[in-house]
Chain A
Amino acid sequence: METVLSYIHQHIDIIYIVVLSVFLGIEVIGRVPSVLHTPLMSGANAIHGVVIIGAIIVMGRVEAGNYAALIIGFLAVVLGTLNVVGGFVVTDRMLEMFKKKK
């Protein structure tokens, strides 16, 4: 119990971020029309590509000779980039099809 409390105390800023982000995430897309479900899903998909930052940090910390870690890290960065770039481009292509109402 004490460890839990001290953990919360030490990481209170992170916990705030999480709690507020949950509410924000729900609030921000609250009234989306069903037409936009797919592009929104695709856009959100691109945003979670932010995981690539973790991959870059991991990669940048690997010692030069550690090839196993380098290869896994390399793969992680490639996959993360695919998620980010592919995600945003495909969302843009979807939305390109939506023309403005006259």
Chain B
Amino acid sequence: MEINLLTLCYLIGSVTFIIGLKMLSHPESARKGNLVAAGGMAVSIFGTIFLYEENGEKLHNYGWIFAALVIGTIIGTLAAKRVKMTAMPELVSLFNGMGGACAALISVIEFKHITAAVHADAAVPYATYLSIFAGLVIGSISFAGSMIAWGKLNGRVKDFSFRGQQVFNMVLFAGIILLSAYLIIGLTPENQFLFYLILLGALVYGVLFVLPIGGADMPVVISLLNSFTGVAAACGGFLYSNQVMLTGGILVGAAGTLLTILMCKAMNRSLLNVLIGSFGGGATGTQQAVTGNYKEISLSDAAVCMSYAHKVMIVPGYGLAVAQAQHVCHELEKLLEEKGVEVSYAIHPVAGRMPGHMNVLLAEADVNYDKLMEMEQANDEFKSTDVVLILGANDVVNPAAKTDPASPIYGMPILEVEQAKTVIVNKRSMKPGYAGIENALFFQPKTSMLFGDAKAALQKLVAEIKSL
């Protein structure tokens, strides 16, 4: 390839992606890193539009291209700006699916081109076939899987599995591979419809792959699908010998895979365990029954209990996010500090619906970074804590993870709140949490329940403390 402006644009793009990713993995530089990568992306996209040439010919259909860019930009920006904090992981999944679909559609059009070439008895290199089929299959799986993950996170799609699903999935996948190989070796005008069968098979596989995995594991799944889409994009890079698509795609494929593994490690589980899924109903034996009586605590008792404590730890969970109670939570924290109480937050790595969810939420309310403790640190602190206030967290404080081998969450590290002297749990009702399992913590003698929406309950609690 001769050196021209476009290659330079692609070089800039590739380098900014690398630098962007690097900066994204450090808290201080993360935001700038995102902008750097976005800038490089803009250079690559506009470079392609204006400078791309093939056999001395520029691209056509500018009207269509720009219309599509404008529509995508408007919808994308609005969706991203309007989305509530709680719905962000869903949106990431949705956008990821769009990327996968894009890769699959490119393959569909390119397949039409090669069928035309086959009609005309022209030879098509195997590498071209391979890129097109890989892009189609991976892109479609990523698209279908992301849509299911999206539906699961917003509660529209329920967990579903049937007997022998693992086997069925494997057979389906093998079928996709065999059919692809068959077409690559001998594509004729008569058997080209099989291409669409592969497309269908890949979509079904994507759906079945994600359906049985529990909602609580969705962040891991989204991260995995994210790296799939990266690989699908790289297939496009092969097809067009396009360096920036290659580097971008492969970088994300590799980084995404590592990130997926890191996320699993944060939950102390293996990727295989997540995928084959103990959440998916694979747990053997019967879970220990959780029964007993729980006691409620009145607002005034809770207020007194916390005001006269030395040390209070707040454990936020999804309930806090849903109720948008982060601001009033910060108010409670300041109020208690004024009274001389030491307050900090214990953050479980997977509290909420995505890793880092709670950090983002509390940062929005101006909670000081230093007050957020990671799990290990928090577990050391609980022993010397007087009151633990749990705000809408459930599975991440469920002792069954340590004591009940039959429990779906067995093995997940938890916040060991029962080491503290008193535990106050704010929940809307006694209904089990996201993983659908009972929590023995609520029935322990040192635990008392403060029912109600997190925001309303905290507001009343703040008022109560002020009037003490």
Which A residues fall within an 8 A CB radius of B? 3, 7, 11, 14, 17-18, 21-26, 28-64, 69-70, 72-102
Contacts and interface: CB of A to CB of B under 8 A. Distances in A.
Contact of B37 (A31, A43, A64): A43
B234 interface: yes
Interface residues of B, number: 118
A82 B258 CA distance: 25
Given A41-B256, A61-B54, A73-B64, A48 B248 contact: yes
Interface of B: 13, 17-18, 20-22, 24-28, 30-31, 33-35, 37-38, 41, 44-45, 48-49, 52, 54, 58-62, 64-65, 67-69, 71-73, 75-77, 79-81, 83, 85, 88-89, 91-92, 94-96, 98-99, 101-103, 105-106, 108-110, 112, 126-127, 219, 222-223, 226-227, 229-230, 232-234, 236-259, 262-263, 266, 349, 354-357, 359-361, 363-364, 366, 368-370, 374
A67 to B, nearest CB: 11
Contact of B357 (A38, A42, A100): A38
Contacts of B22: 28-29
A10 B274 CA distance: 40
A101 B359 CA distance: 13
A70 B61 contact: yes
A-side binding surface: helix, strand, loop or mixed?
A: helix
Most chain A beta-carbon contacts within 10 A, residue among B18, B60, B106:
B106
B112 A87 contact: no
Contact of B34 (A43, A55, A80): A43
Contacts of B26: 36
User: Do most interface residues of chain B lie in helix, strand or loop, or is the interface mixed?
Assistant: helix
Q: Which of A44, A77, A101 has the most CB of B within 10 A?
A: A44
B32 to A, nearest CB: 9
B259 A78 contact: no
A99 B244 contact: no
A70 to B, nearest CB: 6
Nearest to B16: A47
B27 A36 contact: yes
Contact of A74 (B67, B95, B110, B240): B67
A74 to B, nearest CB: 5
A50 B249 contact: yes
Given A50-B41, A87-B95, 14 more contacts: A14-B238, A17-B243, A24-B18, A29-B22, A30-B258, A34-B266, A39-B360, A41-B222, A47-B20, A59-B64, A60-B65, A69-B112, A82-B75, A97-B360
